[in-house]
Chains A and B, each alone.
Chain A
């Protein structure tokens, strides 16, 4: 797997100099490579991983299971496009298994999300059923531990 992409996934704020040192490649090469990834849409953007639990006025999020009837011409893609269009929807995944789509939906309250599912999602033509699972707590997100359980280094021997 691409080492540069992996490094950027762990921390997109590494400087070009640091990336160049770690990968043993010249800085110009690293710069060009990142530009190319961005131009090709392989790198889509850079976001912060936020521990919302520690923020006031935070969000509620839920995972919504969706069973749908695929369209004759466009299969699941059209349904995916419709789901993506809502601002409330953070992520859309097509799944293998007992349901078709998994959506991550964000709202200010549980009520918001419940209403969104009832009024917006389940009324889309082709949606057969929905299942709503509220996210209670995030322990790990995008590879990052959001708890403080791993902060203490328990190693004690120096030599």
Chain B
């Protein structure tokens, strides 16, 4: 390859990849390499390999010092439940196509630039929505009803390892009755999710939002994924996407928990690597807007 990057050829940059991975470059060269890595997947892959090897060099059987954790814990643990605005603010906008994001008013200070610092600023939430939302632990925690979950002795969470439990649970008559009862509640809202978010063609997935906040993803005909992939449910909050949980590779009816007051403007489901991702990396398979 002969591409130039700040006057440097690809093969000259390649020569720098080892020393780059060891942080042994001068700052000016480091900038050049990083600029090149943004557009060269081959060199990025080589750096990733060097970093793994360097990681082995540092390997040791040392204990994580507890006193450092105490200080970290003190800084991150305010003891308060997080709110949706802050949760959304910590996530950058997803870099995927076809994820139709409504325009969201940004604070004035963040309109002038797009630096990382500005990206991470908290987007203010309307006062009426500012009440703390109970998002204890991971949000896909409980089942169709807390009572039912306790009764069955199963607490459902959003990790893949628990998806099989969920699917087993869905075969239980009591669970099905709970789902049915929730769907028949007049206050239950149904959000159809379709490819592209358009109503035409019928929905492939329905989100059922109950008044209790114990909700369901009901998949009518989502096709199965290979075992290396999982469907992941997202809620759009203030223009950013917050993971609502992993649904497994062949979801049917999956319960999740979300506050009835959560300002989710859109739901979307993407196919992601097993284990899930912090932000969507692929275009949504289906999506649907919530009419507030």
Say if A and B assemble together.
no
